[in-house]
């Protein structure tokens, strides 16, 4: 607008000057002196008007640029508050160190990835409660309602555990953490979970379960001293295996889902890092873990929600109308298994990217050893909720599900002292109690 006005003013001035020059061309020589002086005055006036227009343009231009710069600065500084970029700085480092502080002799210093996740939260709390140093890392993705992850983070913070918002693929962040802290152990639980979601978003499984796992192993390999690693594999690696119960050396080469395939690939990648770099690595094959603070995408949780809302639930059924079954395992039993795996893990044997002697590589089933059918799971929920479910039974689609899981935990019993003690009825009772409390609180808000 200002530029337009200026150009217009200038054009008019020029036209004016041209016509003045024509008008003032002397027809008789005697008039020349007076007319020339008039002409100079007009010329000065024109230049004055032009300079005024220029000044106005400069002032408006300056205001415009200042406003634009202010707007851009605000945009950038707002973007900076996105928590993924908030790590670093002296106060942050102090916070990290405080979270890693141990309160018992020989206490572990553990980096827990996926700390705001279901298993991550419980394991972090258990470690902290016995006096270990714990630092959490989580990317707070929106695979399921991130507000639940924030609530878990709040719970951890109240117990003195810092959860850094960051992705395991952020190698700079991992390097920074390992430079700052000598972690004795890494409990690697960050992953893209869920069996059926792989049909919708296959890339997220590769990002977290393959690339992310490698990023974590790389950071551990380069750390000095190298930590020992315990990480979450899955019962799904048994895939279409029909030999029951599942034992660690059974076939795992028939994954039924991309999720299972990424967990199986993780086990092979673990072998490589153990073999080349001397990392001590323990893989835990979790069997359908459930309990308070659980995952809303899992059947027991989503069924509870639907039953309470009077909405129908879909129950998948296997071939020949055989019910699907799972070796549902309660979170407290899983936590004991995780801590035992950390406590018994041998040290890694490499440094400077080189292995000095063979290192430990272990895999354990952490299950409950007593599978329960999905309709029975619903029966128990109905009883606890005192509401009848609206059941919609359908043939199991080919979506990555397996018909049943059943763990043999002899190895974990012998080497970790693992001993699951919670049956599905008692575990779900605790879950339902938590569910009512948590959702009553949060739905009020």
Ligand X SMILES: O=C(O)[C@H]1O[C@H](OP(=O)(O)OP(=O)(O)OC[C@H]2O[C@@H](n3ccc(=O)[nH]c3=O)[C@H](O)[C@@H]2O)[C@H](O)[C@@H](O)[C@@H]1O
Q: Which residues bind ligand X (CB under 6 A)?
A: 193-195, 234-236, 286-288, 298-299, 314-316, 324, 326, 374, 401
Cα gap 371→424, rounded to integer Å: 9
Catalytic residue, candidates 259, 277, 290, 364: 259
Nearest distance, CB of residue 187 and ligand X, angstroms: 16
Nearest distance, CB of residue 335 and ligand X, angstroms: 15
Cα gap 136→187, rounded to integer Å: 10
- Does 259 participate in catalysis according to the annotation? yes
Cα gap 68→332, rounded to integer Å: 56
Q: Of the two residues 166 and 371, which places its CB atom closer to ligand X in the complex?
A: 371
Q: Of the two residues 174 and 307, which places its CB atom closer to ligand X in the complex?
A: 307
Task: For helices 374-385 and 424-444, give the axis angle rounded to 10 degrees.
Answer: 60
String of DSSP letters for 97-118 = HHHT---STT--EEEEETTTSH
- Map residue 255 onto helix, strand or coil: coil
400 neighbors 196 (Cβ within 8 angstroms) = yes
Nearest distance, CB of residue 223 and ligand X, angstroms: 28
Q: Of the two residues 350 and 367, which places its CB atom closer to ligand X in the complex?
A: 367
Q: Of the two residues 227 and 283, which places its CB atom closer to ligand X in the complex?
A: 283
Nearest distance, CB of residue 396 and ligand X, angstroms: 6
Nearest distance, CB of residue 94 and ligand X, angstroms: 36
Nearest distance, CB of residue 201 and ligand X, angstroms: 14
46 neighbors 10 (Cβ within 8 angstroms) = no
Q: Of the two residues 234 and 348, which places its CB atom closer to ligand X in the complex?
A: 234
Cα gap 143→42, rounded to integer Å: 75
310: its two tokens: 């009077």
Cα gap 344→414, rounded to integer Å: 12
Q: Of the two residues 114 and 227, which places its CB atom closer to ligand X in the complex?
A: 114
| 3-state helix, strand and coil shares in percent for the chain, rounded to the nearest 5 | 55, 15, 30
Query: Cβ-count burial of 365 within 10 angstroms (0-12 exposed, 13-18 middle, 19+ buried)?
Result: buried
Catalytic residue annotation: 259
């Amino acid at each position: 607008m200002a530029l337009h006005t200026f150009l217009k003013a200038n054009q008019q001035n020029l036209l004016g000057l041209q016509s003045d020059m024509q008008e003032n061309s002397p027809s008789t020589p005697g008039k020349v002196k007076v007319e020339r002086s008039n002409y100079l005055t007009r010329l000065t006036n024109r230049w004055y008007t032009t300079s005024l227009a220029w000044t106005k343009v400069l002032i408006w231009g300056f205001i415009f640029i200042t406003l634009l710069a202010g707007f851009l600065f605000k945009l950038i500084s707002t973007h900076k508050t996105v928590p993924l970029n908030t790590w670093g700085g002296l106060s942050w480092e102090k916070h990290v160190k405080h979270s890693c502080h141990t309160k018992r002799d020989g206490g572990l210093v553990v980096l827990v990835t996926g700390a705001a996740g279901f298993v991550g939260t419980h394991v972090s709390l258990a470690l902290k409660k016995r006096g270990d140093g714990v630092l959490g890392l989580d990317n707070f993705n929106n695979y399921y309602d991130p507000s639940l992850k924030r609530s878990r983070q709040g719970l951890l913070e109240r117990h003195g555990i810092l959860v850094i918002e960051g992705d395991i693929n952020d190698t700079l962040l991992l390097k920074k953490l390992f430079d700052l802290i000598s972690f004795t152990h890494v409990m690697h639980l960050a992953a893209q979970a869920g069996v059926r979601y792989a049909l919708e978003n296959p890339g997220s499984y590769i990002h977290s379960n393959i690339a992310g796992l490698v990023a974590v192993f790389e950071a551990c390999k380069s750390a000095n001293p190298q930590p020992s690693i315990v990480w979450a594999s899955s019962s799904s690696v048994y895939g279409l295996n029909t030999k029951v119960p599942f034992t660690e050396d059974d076939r795992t080469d028939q994954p039924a889902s991309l999720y299972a395939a990424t967990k199986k690939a993780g086990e092979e990648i673990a072998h490589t890092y153990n073999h080349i770099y001397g990392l001590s690595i323990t893989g835990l094959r979790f069997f359908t873990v459930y309990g308070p603070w659980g995952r809303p995408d899992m059947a027991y949780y989503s069924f509870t929600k639907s039953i309470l809302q009077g909405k129908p639930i879909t129950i998948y059924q296997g071939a020949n109308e055989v019910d699907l079954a799972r070796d549902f395992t309660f979170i407290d039993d899983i936590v004991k298994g995780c801590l035992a795996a950390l406590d018994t893990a041998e040290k890694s044997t490499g440094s400077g990217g080189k292995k000095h002697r063979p290192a430990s590589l272990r895999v354990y089933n952490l299950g409950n050893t007593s599978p329960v059918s999905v309709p029975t799971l619903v029966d128990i929920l109905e009883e606890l909720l005192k509401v009848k479910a609206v059941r919609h039974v359908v043939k199991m689609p080919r979506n990555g599900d397996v018909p049943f899981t059943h763990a043999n935990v002899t190895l974990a019993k012998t080497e970790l002292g693992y001993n699951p003690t919670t049956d599905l009825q008692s575990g779900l009772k605790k879950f339902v109690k938590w569910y009512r409390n948590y959702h009553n609180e949060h739905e009020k808000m």
